[in-house]
Amino acid sequence: MELLQYTFFQRALLGSLLASIACGIIGTYIVTRRLVFISGGITHASFGGIGLGMFAGINPIFSAAVFSVLSAFGVEWLSKRKDMREDSAIAVFWALGMALGIMFSFLSPGFAPDLSAYLFGNILTISTNDLWFLATVSVLLIAFFVLFIHPILYIAFDREFARSQGIPVHLFEYVLMMFIALTIVASLRMIGIVLAISLLTIPQMTANLFTYNFKKIIWLSIAIGFVCCLGGLMISYFMQVPSGASIIFFSILIYAVCKLIKSL
């Protein structure tokens, strides 16, 4: 309880809750649509925006957000073309983002920047601006899913049926890809580029062990994600290890225990 007196720990708890909400909502769509590999490509592409931000002297999170959204749109556009396979389009942006990130970070003036916080995450260094960004993304996601839950469900399970109902499928897919990119970037401070995709999939996989209902998976994913963040936060603080790795380790541990309980 003494930890709650520290401001950095209070910010970490609030960041855990907001990230669990955002990842729980959009992660359910990712798992349902089987977009895990696409999300991994966007995650690694965001590194290019971080390097560009360091080189240009602007907030790396802001530049990563812009770069990730553009990469998400690029992947979505290229994957719809008949002359390129979807996995090839993802690989292009994945490699481009990592290459640009490394090049710009080394070209940045002054001392070489510490990239470990972006690669592996450190929730204990999360700032007020990061919390505002997470809160904004979470509120927008809640509003969007509440207003358009039925079109999202149709698109997630049967795109052709959604199109037959007059739903602008392509527009919704671009908007949802934008939300995927923003959620990933908003969570970078917590879990880092290397592990960001895990918080978007593992809580959903755990929830899916107990229910197949889309809305229930969202609620369960948020709860499981928050518990995993709390457990990982404790491990990170007391063992002095990166928060991203400890959160994902704890979430996989929870999944394994739930899987065992389910099988028994």
For residues 253, 248, 27, 125, the Cα torsion angle rounded to the nearest 10 degrees is 140
pLDDT digits (tens, 9 = 90+) for 89-127: 788 888 888 888 888 888 877 665 667 777 777 776 788
Judge whether 51 and 114 are in contact, CB under 8 Å. Answer: no
Nearest-10 crossing angle of helices 60-79, 169-186? 150
Beta-carbon contacts of 119 under 8 Å, excluding residues fewer than 6 positions away, are 47, 192, 193, 194
Domains of the chain, first to last: 6-123+151-255 (1.10.3470.10)
Confidence of residue 156 (pLDDT cuts 50, 70, 90): confident
Burial of 114 from C-beta contacts in 10 A (0-12 / 13-18 / 19+): exposed
Structure-token pair, residue 182: 């923003």
pLDDT digits (tens, 9 = 90+) for 225-239: 999 988 988 888 888
